[in-house]
Structure 1
Amino acid sequence: MAKTSSTPLTVDLLWQLQRIGAPSLSADGAQVVCSVTQPSMQDNRTASSLWLLSTLGGEPRQLTQCGDKDGQPRFSPTGEWIAFVAKREQNGVKDETPQLYLIPPDGGEARRAGVVPTGVDAFKWFPDGQRLALISWVWPEGRGMKDQAARLKAFKERKETAYITDAAVYRHWDDNLPMGRVPHVLVLEVATGKVTDVLEGTDYELQRREPGAADLSISPDGQRIAFVHDPARGQHPAPRMALAEIELKGSARKAVRDLVKHADWDFNAPSYSPDSLSLAFLASHQAKKHTMPQQLAVLDLADKRARWEVISAEWDREPQAPLLWSEDASALLFVAEEQGRSHVWRFDVAHREPSVVAQGGTIHGFDTAAACLVTLTDRAAHPGRLHAQGVDDRGVRLGQEAERIETFNDKLLANVALGSTEEHWVTGAKGEKVQVWLHFPPGFDRKKKYPLLHTIHGGPHTGPGDCWHWRWNYLVFAAQGYVTANVNYHGSSGFGHAFLDSITHQWGALELQDMEAATDWLLKKPWIDRQRVFATGGSYGGYMVAWMNAHVKPGRYKAYICHAGCFDWVGMFADDAYGWHAQELGAWYWNDMAKAHSQSPHAFAASMQTPTLVIHGAKDYRVPDAQGLAYYNTLKAKGVDAKLVWFPDENHWILKPRNSALWYQEFFDWLKRHDPAATPKRTAAKKPASKR
């Protein structure tokens, strides 16, 4: 008789699992390189190395071991090198900033490809494999790498600590953007290590919020670089990007010109076609509405009038960067969400028809070359895995099933009892169907009763479902004995634009109806204990639990957990996304305070009575920690049972292993503290005495 699994999925086990990065295929489609991150709870850190895998069979091979954060690996088009970004020590010189390294795929020592004083954020290979385009934050008035190095040295040696700026875009997630610097495109020559800033002396700069490899495309002849740039140069709080093109002579700039630029539109993710006749990109008509989706667009490069058109206007889904052309230039491949899952899609350019090439779960990365497609896919039931499958030169999937090409986490998970996951639909706000994902405890017995745990997603315009979440792992929650629910409320992505846009200017209203409809539906199940219902959420999900605390009758939910939640939309103006507040809420707060307050939990604090655990990180610039502190302080002042977990060294997410373990511990302890089946009923906290 086969041995049954009995080990539950614990937080400790979660932090032993390896985390796979996005894949890169060799030109012949035979090999894949990816980064693999190994967390260490003992050392309280994570380290990543590069691994080689075969699409033809065979054991994976570790390629790098000496690095700490080896990442973003990409095969060269000629197959001679794998380039990656890392901070290392070579010949006695330790990198102060991330640099580009090269290593042969058959092994050997990695070597620094060149010296970029201001560091390398991302890169892309030229088709000839002799050059790379880099992204680096440089001083725009600087001239040459020696000058940049001198400026960096002077900046580091300064005695002052103030951050000074006149830009509208100056911080993102958990970082102040480099003071006085802008992101440029640099060209590095493999043979000599020479580095040239090809935007030096121009007014062009890339977007300031997370410029990456998807912001660049290099023409098949290697003579042009299309790139995303910010016409407002950081002076607009909700910027709309344009596309420009650098014409090269060798590694030097010959000219630079605008390709696609319109004040009403936002453009990104350029991609030259293999025949050099077209440039594909993503376009969003922001002047029409700020929630307008990204749509596929194509520029005819042979047309001197620079005409472009949207080709996916009839398809109510949103493509995501990057865009990869099929070998015959007939179609584009990309990832897009579809009702709680994300797939790799093929969009036929001529017929304007989408079709699924590789199914999720949730696909986090993919690459294609030589009739092979490799995907990084996770599901609620397992962390990321790499699969390879055949595609023809049109990008059409060939008949055989995708084959898994690694087993990194199989041994650790072999004897772990994982609960099951189900997809359901309930009637929510406006009489429309709303998706609900349920994750059940291992050994779930429908004859027994279980507590209900809502985990409310952030965004609000995201749409999680069949995915593995490292920070909010649904099966870890379920392993504690909770039926765990994820509701894709109105406003979620992946269900069409009308559904996503429905909450605009009335945040909280429809989402609450959806949450309550899901709770009502679940409370009718004989296996849900009506007295043990909890709601938790992060970011916009944190906003929602604060909103529920003010708008749901006390007692329906025994306790809330608010992680990095929005509490006060006026105070939230300190965030890094303040430029979108009026678009989402319907007005700037100074023009219509009533409108802002009508969607702000803090304005309804008088009715808040439900015990709440508040969690926040001090380095959170998306939802500044004053939001969590104000919520906690409000509850304490009202005499509501509350607890604060504040991390001075974490951002919007809790990333350090030990901090994450503590996060889960406090999360579960709070639920047990307010679980009638786990502890005696607590007496209500006394309200503070009024001053006379």
Structure 2
Amino acid sequence: MSLQPADIHDLTSVSSPSLSADGSVIYVQTVTNAERSGGESKLMIHNDGESRPFSSGPKDSSPCHSPDGALVGFLRPGADDEKKQVWVISTAGGEARQVSCLKGGVQGFAWAPGADRLVVVSRVDPDMVETEDGQPQTQVVQRIRYRGDGEGWRGNAFSQLFVLDLASDEPLQLTDGEGDHLAPVWSPEGDRIAYVTDEVEGRDFSRHSDIRVIPAAGGESIRWSEGMSRVGSVAWSHDGNHLVAAGSHDPDVWDPRQSWLFVLTHGLSARAVAGMTRTIVQPIAQDCWTQNDDLIYIADHAGESYLCSVHADGGEEEIILGGERTLTALCVQQDDAVAVAGSPGRPGDIFQVDLQDGSGHFNTEVNAHVLNDRPPVMVEKVTFDRNDLEIQARLLFPDGFDASKQYPLILEIHGGPNGRFSDSYDVTQQILSGRGYLVLAVNPRGSSSYGPDFLKAVLRDWGGEDFLDLMAAVDLVCERPYVDTDRLGVHGYSYGGFMRSWIIGHDHRFKAAVIGAPCINLHSMYGTSDIGVSFGENQWGGSSIENVAALLERSPLTYAAEVKTPALLLHGEQDYRCPIEQSEQFFVALKRQNKDVEFVRFPESAHGFQQAAHPKLRQEYYQRMVDWFAKYLS
């Protein structure tokens, strides 16, 4: 039997590997706690062929070796509150000690070359007022980006950079501008710090970002990213004269999953690295620029990850490690690298690679106990041409598949118009296949990892050609004799929820729809989503004032009268990305017409609650999904 909803509590995840010069790896291992949202995480160390605990947890994250390899820094909630602070521990073992005590907590950090200082990212709120417990306080909104999904109220708070000397108790604040200052990296000499910032003109209305460099002792910052529109991460050249950044120079390429490498030199326009044929996986590793001036990076193409290298001056892209997997969280240490690697048959594990010959091996098998009892299902890649574009899908077969029988088919659509299904272990798809369904996971135009033109093809056309791509994929697979065309279902989340709501208002062959956190009224979402203005204007082509007719024309709510498919709406009550008012509107519109609809609200759950919410709620999402399909597709 394949994966079931209750089995999600048995899955273990690994993340944030840090590789030392002696070859040992420290990483985060997270397991489910039935009583705690987000699970319990602790640091693990892998050396001499085995892994063992390195910290006690239960909320440790983001480990990073000091440059001399003597210490490991990591994040842990502070002794006095739940905000994360930096802690350090000797690689020889012993007790960890807290080295930061910033009121806004710490979001990230990086070691200085001498291992005597840290640059840390901390939220600073100039309007914070201490109040007595139980006393109400008003919240004054002065900017559009005043709250964020998963973080709540922001107001006028921004992420700022601080330098923390381990021998001193007083941090030095480097930045104080009206924008977030993130992903800092030290220059090789330790005298400058490069970072990513959205402190730009019109910040409320766009997602533009820059790279700036500031003296580590404090002073004025200098922009280095001339000619770029968006930047996600940055690293220094080994001589400190250049930077390499992952991002885009195209303002229409909003999504960080469609990025390229650029070499930055102060006073010059950013230069795209020639020879690259695949899109960059963010963030890039801090030590990705080698002594030979090669750049080491993870790249995606058609949902597959590759470990690649290319010379900083351009040239032929070399594949160090080939596809049929996903790779994330790259860490480079001289001739070796480590990443998290997964595949359709295996959730992520720590994977170590020799950069000289491309050989690699898994350091962990954290889910072997689950996979032995719940073997993954078979996956087939399906491609077809439509309107001069090649569209790719993945078809998952139910456990015990027999081609002489017929099976119901569920169309699965990814979240985010620029998301994509990849060669990874997908819990939703495994659960559906485990219940006896064929699952068709399609990457329509707009999906990332197929090139910038493919990605931009969805702009200003939600519900247009992307919808037709999906229907063409269903048509193609339904020609197979083992597909029961009278038992078709559709499931999706976020943009996938939009598309599922759109589909059932335009195509009546689907007998059941499960709709997670949809956007069904683009006009109202523009003003209620935490990214409604910047994302909406990029994707939909204008503001809610200028674009009323077009927004309503492409809103599934407009076609609610045409819906005939029984619909289940699932939504987190603290979702600020696709606010719950979207499902509320759709539910009322359908219920008022006496259509078959049910609406489930998940308390204390943001947009990504399938990963971070209470374990009971995550299981209930999947259980309600499979129960709805069983009711209408059996």
> Is this a same-fold pair by TM over 0.5?
yes
Cα deviation per residue 1:186-207 (whole Å; 9 max; x = unaligned)? 11122334322122xx536435
Q: Name 2:124's counterpart in structure 1.
A: 138
In 2, the alpha carbon distance for the partners of 1:577 and 1:117 equals 27
Q: Name 2:354's counterpart in structure 1.
A: 390
SS of the equivalent of 1:537 reads strand
Aligned-residue offset at 1:96: 4.2
Q: Are residues 441 and 240 of structure 1, via their aligned partners in 2, closer, same or farther at CA, if it must alter by over 3 Å?
A: same
Cα deviation per residue 1:510-552 (whole Å; 9 max; x = unaligned)? 1221111111111111111111110111101100011111111
In 2, the alpha carbon distance for the partners of 1:492 and 1:507 equals 12
TM-score scaled by structure 2? Answer: 0.93
Q: Name 1:10's counterpart in structure 2.
A: 4
> In terms of mean alpha carbon deviation, does 489-498 or 356-365 score higher?
356-365
In 1, the alpha carbon distance for the partners of 2:535 and 2:37 equals 36
* Contact 2:281/2:328, CA 8 A, preserved across alignment: no
Aligned-residue offset at 1:482: 0.5
Q: Name 2:303's counterpart in structure 1.
A: 340
Aligned-residue offset at 1:289: 6.5
1:260 is the counterpart of 2:224:
yes
Cα deviation per residue 1:13-41 (whole Å; 9 max; x = unaligned)? 22112110121111x14111111001023
Partner AA of 1:227 in structure 2: Y
Q: 1:370-519 maps to which residues of 2 (within 5 A)?
A: 370-392=334-356, 398-399=357-358, 401-428=359-386, 430-470=387-427, 472=428, 474-519=429-474
SS of the equivalent of 2:162 reads strand
The match for 1:559 among 512, 518, 522 is 512
* Contact 1:20/1:385, CA 8 A, preserved across alignment: yes
In 2, the alpha carbon distance for the partners of 1:437 and 1:352 equals 33
The match for 1:19 among 10, 13, 29 is 13
Q: Are residues 493 and 383 of structure 1, via their aligned partners in 2, closer, same or farther at CA, if it must alter by over 3 Å?
A: same
In 2, the alpha carbon distance for the partners of 1:347 and 1:633 equals 54
Aligned-residue offset at 1:168: 2.6
Q: Are residues 155 and 405 of structure 1, via their aligned partners in 2, closer, same or farther at CA, if it must alter by over 3 Å?
A: same
* Contact 2:111/2:117, CA 8 A, preserved across alignment: yes
The match for 1:203 among 177, 197, 201 is 177
Aligned-residue offset at 1:48: 0.4
1:297 is the counterpart of 2:288:
no
1:280 is the counterpart of 2:244:
yes
The match for 1:575 among 522, 526, 529 is 529
Aligned-residue offset at 1:176: 2.9
Q: Name 1:170's counterpart in structure 2.
A: 146
In 2, the alpha carbon distance for the partners of 1:450 and 1:424 equals 18
Q: Name 1:224's counterpart in structure 2.
A: 192
* Contact 1:19/1:384, CA 8 A, preserved across alignment: yes
SS of the equivalent of 1:169 reads coil
Q: Name 1:358's counterpart in structure 2.
A: 321
In 2, the alpha carbon distance for the partners of 1:642 and 1:224 equals 58
SS of the equivalent of 1:609 reads coil
TM-score scaled by structure 1? Answer: 0.86
In 2, the alpha carbon distance for the partners of 1:412 and 1:265 equals 44
In 2, the alpha carbon distance for the partners of 1:135 and 1:44 equals 24
Aligned-residue offset at 1:431: 4.6
Aligned-residue offset at 1:126: 0.8
Cα deviation per residue 1:46-105 (whole Å; 9 max; x = unaligned)? 110000012xx422010112x32100011111111111111153xxxx334211111112
SS of the equivalent of 2:63 reads strand
1:52 is the counterpart of 2:16:
no
Cα deviation per residue 1:577-630 (whole Å; 9 max; x = unaligned)? 122313311232322322112211112222111110011111111100000111
In 1, the alpha carbon distance for the partners of 2:165 and 2:379 equals 50
Q: Are residues 261 and 297 of structure 1, via their aligned partners in 2, closer, same or farther at CA, if it must alter by over 3 Å?
A: closer
Q: Are residues 52 and 205 of structure 1, via their aligned partners in 2, closer, same or farther at CA, if it must alter by over 3 Å?
A: same
SS of the equivalent of 1:623 reads coil
Equivalenced residue count is 626
Aligned-residue offset at 1:331: 2.0
The sequence identity of aligned pairs, in percent, is 25
Q: Name 1:79's counterpart in structure 2.
A: 69
RCO (CA 8 Å, sep 6+): is it higher in 1 or 2? 2
In 1, the alpha carbon distance for the partners of 2:92 and 2:75 equals 19
Aligned-residue offset at 1:256: 2.0
Partner AA of 1:375 in structure 2: A
SS of the equivalent of 2:522 reads coil
Q: Name 2:92's counterpart in structure 1.
A: 106
* Contact 1:23/1:367, CA 8 A, preserved across alignment: yes
* Contact 1:80/1:105, CA 8 A, preserved across alignment: yes
Aligned-residue offset at 1:116: 1.6
Partner AA of 1:633 in structure 2: V
Cα deviation per residue 1:461-504 (whole Å; 9 max; x = unaligned)? 0121211234x3x1121011011110001111111111111121
Aligned-residue offset at 1:330: 1.4
Q: Name 2:501's counterpart in structure 1.
A: 546
Aligned-residue offset at 1:307: 4.5
In 2, the alpha carbon distance for the partners of 1:11 and 1:278 equals 49
Q: Are residues 435 and 15 of structure 1, via their aligned partners in 2, closer, same or farther at CA, if it must alter by over 3 Å?
A: same
Aligned-residue offset at 1:413: 2.3
In 2, the alpha carbon distance for the partners of 1:308 and 1:529 equals 53
In 1, the alpha carbon distance for the partners of 2:114 and 2:178 equals 26
The match for 2:273 among 311, 334, 339 is 311
Q: Are residues 263 and 59 of structure 1, via their aligned partners in 2, closer, same or farther at CA, if it must alter by over 3 Å?
A: closer
Partner AA of 2:59 in structure 1: K
Aligned-residue offset at 1:372: 1.0
* Cα RMSD (Å): 2.3
Partner AA of 2:45 in structure 1: L
SS of the equivalent of 2:505 reads helix
> In terms of mean alpha carbon deviation, does 535-544 or 274-283 score higher?
274-283
* Contact 1:458/1:542, CA 8 A, preserved across alignment: yes
Q: Are residues 160 and 312 of structure 1, via their aligned partners in 2, closer, same or farther at CA, if it must alter by over 3 Å?
A: farther
The match for 1:667 among 621, 625, 631 is 625
Q: 1:320-335 maps to which residues of 2 (within 5 A)?
A: 320-323=282-285, 324-335=287-298
> In terms of mean alpha carbon deviation, does 116-125 or 292-301 score higher?
292-301
SS of the equivalent of 1:535 reads strand
Q: Name 1:596's counterpart in structure 2.
A: 551
Aligned-residue offset at 1:667: 0.5
Aligned-residue offset at 1:180: 3.3
SS of the equivalent of 2:550 reads helix
Aligned-residue offset at 1:129: 0.9
Aligned-residue offset at 1:262: 5.0
Structure 1, gaps ≥5 residues long: 1-6, 141-150, 393-397, 679-692
Q: Name 1:681's counterpart in structure 2.
A: none
Q: Which has the larger radius of gyration?
A: 1
Q: Name 2:160's counterpart in structure 1.
A: 184
Partner AA of 1:203 in structure 2: G
Q: Are residues 349 and 121 of structure 1, via their aligned partners in 2, closer, same or farther at CA, if it must alter by over 3 Å?
A: same
1:37 is the counterpart of 2:13:
no
